[in-house]
Chain A
Amino acid sequence: MPVLTGKELRIVGFLCNWCSYGGADTAGIGRFNQPTDLRIIKVPCSGRIDPLFVVKALMNGADGVLVSGCHPRDCHYAEGNFYARRRLEIMHNFLPIIGYEPERFEYTWVSASEGQRWQQVVTSFTEQIHKLGPAPKILGPEASDTLSLMQAAL
């Protein structure tokens, strides 16, 4: 079943297990309504996120990617989110080069208690992606070359 055409776009979320996944749970427990576009992939720490996961999601057809971890200095693994910040910031600058608006990607920090904040993050990011519309699908031989290079790198 694909996304609901006309209603939803495809947004992939990578959330750390300790803070942001808990924050999304807290939002659920508080019944804070959110758009349905986002699909959440749980990772142990935002430092676990290889920037290529984000690129791969976009190249495979995601319209937006959201990463969320613990607040700086609050990481369950002490410093994982600092690694995430460096890597993702560099990757963010690289997105236009491969043909994506940088607004299609965002990283943020949400703690396990911030259900309301999570609702705001999801709502505003989803609105942002809807404003941009569906992502350009990269077609043609160049794309598959890039993809296989990326796969090799992974």
Chain B
Amino acid sequence: MKVGVFVCHCGSNIEATVDTAAVAAAAREFPGVVFATDTMYTCSEPGQDEIVNAIKEHNLGGIVVASCTPRMHEQTFRRTVERAGLNKYLFEMANIREHVSWIGKDREANTNKSVDLVRMATEKLLRNRPLYSKKFDINKRVLVIGGGVAGIQAALDCADGGLEVVMVEKTSTIGGKMAKLDKTFPTVDCSSCILGPRMVDVAQHPNITLYAYSEIEEINGYVGNFEIKVKKKATYVNWDSCTGCGICMEKCPSKKATDYFNEGIGKTTAINIPFPQAIPKKAKIDPDFCTKLTKGKCGVCAKVCPSGCIDYEMQDEFVTEKVGAIVTATGYDLFDWSVYGEYGAGRYPDVITGLQYERMLSASGPTGGHIKRPSDGKEPKNIVFIQCVGSRDKSVGRPYCTGFCCMYTAKQAILTKDHLPDSQSYVFYMDIRAVGKLYDEFTRRAMEEYDTKYIRGRVSMIYPKGEKLLVRGADTLMGSQVEVDADLVVLAVGAEASAGASELAEKLRISYDSYGFYMEGHPKLKPVETNTAGVYLAGACQGPKDIPSSVAQGSAAAAKVLGLFSKDQLESDPQVSIVDIKRCIGCGKCIQTCPFGAIKEMEFRGMVKADVIETICQGCGICTSTCPQGAIQLQHSTDNQILSEVNALCQF
């Protein structure tokens, strides 16, 4: 094989710390290399044309590009060599940017290392064989995990595009965090008026199947053909006949159940419908508080239910759904702010979170839209908002900015003035981050038109003083200490990955960062894809996001799914294992170790042999390192190819 080598400058990204011309010169001496050059931007159009021309001019049989990581441009260059008439697997990349030029400044060592990496790639390339894809059928249904605003958007867009959608929601209603909000910034329009109709659309859309109060138990399969096991948690109410009339809620004697929807402001009944606009509007029993389930006494709801749908014996149920793609929209949860001792660590009832305040402002909330101190029910006069609680704070392990708290605090300050014209709001902030259309104008309005006092500084201490709370902090612009007698303190608590996000990631086989947020395929070019084919991200599960961004990403994920399903068949990755029938002794070890059941026994002239089902094989190569005979080889990562790389490195 005649090999061509292209060493990329990547502008100054590589050239600054690697002598690319020297790397190209060294490459010319390698066995098989007939052409080597350094180029400014190999991935640009002239750069790619140079590769195509060199293949034609020098009759090259394979190409090595030394540039960035293959995760970035392997696909790009595979298409380039294909354009020149070569098989796309007659191409190798040497990663001399992320693994060399960006991690050290020693030009001599970097150049030397780059030469090694190019030699390795060349040796591997010399053992590459052309590979050809197979086509396989796909199941054009999509699973959406999470029924918040991002999931709703993705589900509706997919359903409107003609796809069958399965939506799985953990709680007993869809709507997510947005359903809990009173108003939205910067338009101050009613949250449930925007979201409510979309939730109804989900319930009524003929293409959407909704599993509320359900969780993902198991995910098997691969892009185009996933098999999902959904756990429908026991609601103790037969949802087929429940009409959502709410009589059970009126009569239930157990009125001290935790109200999760209202963020613990107020209590609810053991059998409950979370809020009036819930979708599906069905009751469920909280087994921790139901006296029939805990003590065996009561049964009032069963007596009053007009449609007889209470079933105290109900068990969790499992259903299996087959889909071709998955959109993950599991959202976020609030940081546990009780680590902050200076804010009382949860000891003072009048220190609440922004989301609790939101429920208090909401007309359908537990206080009917009246702002009341949780401790004595009185109207507050001085209200202090504290920003960046569990955001931008290394000391509690949350160094990132949640991004939307500045805005919702400004909104809450405006709403406070609307509700209580005599009140005075104070906002302790670090910086105002109002990046977005009409956002900065909005925070300005809070300061100028609504007379909110913005104080740049942190709060060092909150402690009770009579009925009030004394908030002591610094004003770093004035260089002075500030003390405010507050009636109510609202903390802008930052977002973190939703509870159970990492367990779900393990089932989906996608990566997550140290805070539990899911990793996108590429921070810029693949913001909704993951590195697992057929799994897409929407909303705050990928990182904290406000409503417009979550909706945008929901639509983007739907567009990706619709694009994927625009073909009737997908091409399989040909980097799969094949069995050398002459060497296979039929021991069956590969069949036992394959995690996907992609290898089966077959009979060949009366002997047992292994046989790989190409469309199921995912190309992990566990079989290859298990086979005692070396008979089953993962193509494109054969023993010979990997050992040739080892030899290229260890020959001196």
Q: Which residues of A contact B (CB under 8 A)?
A: 1-4, 7-8, 10, 12, 18-19, 21-22, 24-25, 27-29, 31-36, 39-45, 47-50, 53, 56-57, 60-62, 73-80, 83, 87, 111-114, 119, 154
Interface pair B99/A53, CB less than 8 Å apart: no
Interface pair A39/B97, CB less than 8 Å apart: no
Interface pair B106/A29, CB less than 8 Å apart: no
Which residues in window 572-629 of B have CB below 8 A to A?
575, 593, 595-596, 618-622, 624-626
Q: Which residue of A lies closest to B109 (CB)?
A: A36
Interface pair B625/A87, CB less than 8 Å apart: yes
A-binding segment of B366-374, B423-431, B634-642: B634-642
A42 to chain B, nearest CB (A): 7
Interfacial chain A residues near B620, Cβ < 8 Å: 44-45, 47-48, 76-77, 80
Interfacial chain B residues near A22, Cβ < 8 Å: 71, 511, 519, 531
Interfacial chain B residues near A7, Cβ < 8 Å: 109
Report which of B99, B117, B624, B626 forms a contact with A28, defined as CB distance below 8 A: B99
Q: Does B532 contact A (CB under 8 A)?
A: yes
Rounded to whole angstroms, the CA-CA distance of A33 and B120 in the bound complex is 23
Q: Which residue of B lies closest to A14 (CB)?
A: B642
Interfacial chain A residues near B645, Cβ < 8 Å: 41
With A18-B511, A41-B645, A44-B621 already in contact, the answer to whether A36 and B652 are too (CB < 8 A) is no
B94 to chain A, nearest CB (A): 10
Interface pair B621/A75, CB less than 8 Å apart: no
Interface pair B511/A19, CB less than 8 Å apart: yes
Report which of A3, A27, A45, A154 forms a contact with B621, defined as CB distance below 8 A: A45
Interface pair B621/A112, CB less than 8 Å apart: no
With A3-B652, A34-B103 already in contact, the answer to whether A47 and B108 are too (CB < 8 A) is no
With A25-B98, A154-B630 already in contact, the answer to whether A77 and B622 are too (CB < 8 A) is yes
Q: Which residue of B lies closest to A35 (CB)?
A: B104
Interface pair B646/A113, CB less than 8 Å apart: no
Which residues in window 499-521 of B have CB below 8 A to A?
505-506, 509, 511-514, 519
Q: Does B497 contact A (CB under 8 A)?
A: no
Interface pair B650/A12, CB less than 8 Å apart: yes
Interface pair B514/A60, CB less than 8 Å apart: no
Interface pair A25/B511, CB less than 8 Å apart: no
Beyond A44-B637, A79-B622, list 11 extra A-B contacts (CB 8 Å): A39-B116, A41-B649, A43-B637, A48-B620, A48-B622, A48-B624, A48-B637, A76-B620, A77-B596, A113-B513, A113-B519
Interfacial chain B residues near A27, Cβ < 8 Å: 98, 103
A56 to chain B, nearest CB (A): 6
B213 to chain A, nearest CB (A): 26
A88 to chain B, nearest CB (A): 11
With A34-B103, A44-B634, A53-B642 already in contact, the answer to whether A74 and B649 are too (CB < 8 A) is no
Q: Which residue of A lies closest to B111 (CB)?
A: A1
Interfacial chain A residues near B649, Cβ < 8 Å: 10, 12, 39, 41, 57, 62
Rounded to whole angstroms, the CA-CA distance of A60 and B97 in the bound complex is 27
Rounded to whole angstroms, the CA-CA distance of A130 and B49 in the bound complex is 44
Rounded to whole angstroms, the CA-CA distance of A49 and B621 in the bound complex is 8
Interface pair A76/B98, CB less than 8 Å apart: no
Q: Does B95 contact A (CB under 8 A)?
A: yes
Q: Which residue of A lies closest to B22 (CB)?
A: A1
Q: Does B472 contact A (CB under 8 A)?
A: no
Rounded to whole angstroms, the CA-CA distance of A62 and B649 in the bound complex is 8
B17 to chain A, nearest CB (A): 10
Rounded to whole angstroms, the CA-CA distance of A113 and B520 in the bound complex is 10
Q: Which residue of A lies closest to B518 (CB)?
A: A113
Q: Which residue of B lies closest to A24 (CB)?
A: B99
Report which of B98, B104, B513, B646 forms a contact with A24, defined as CB distance below 8 A: B98
Report which of A1, A61, A78 forms a contact with B509, defined as CB distance below 8 A: A78
Interface pair A41/B103, CB less than 8 Å apart: no
Interface pair A50/B639, CB less than 8 Å apart: yes
Q: Does B112 contact A (CB under 8 A)?
A: yes
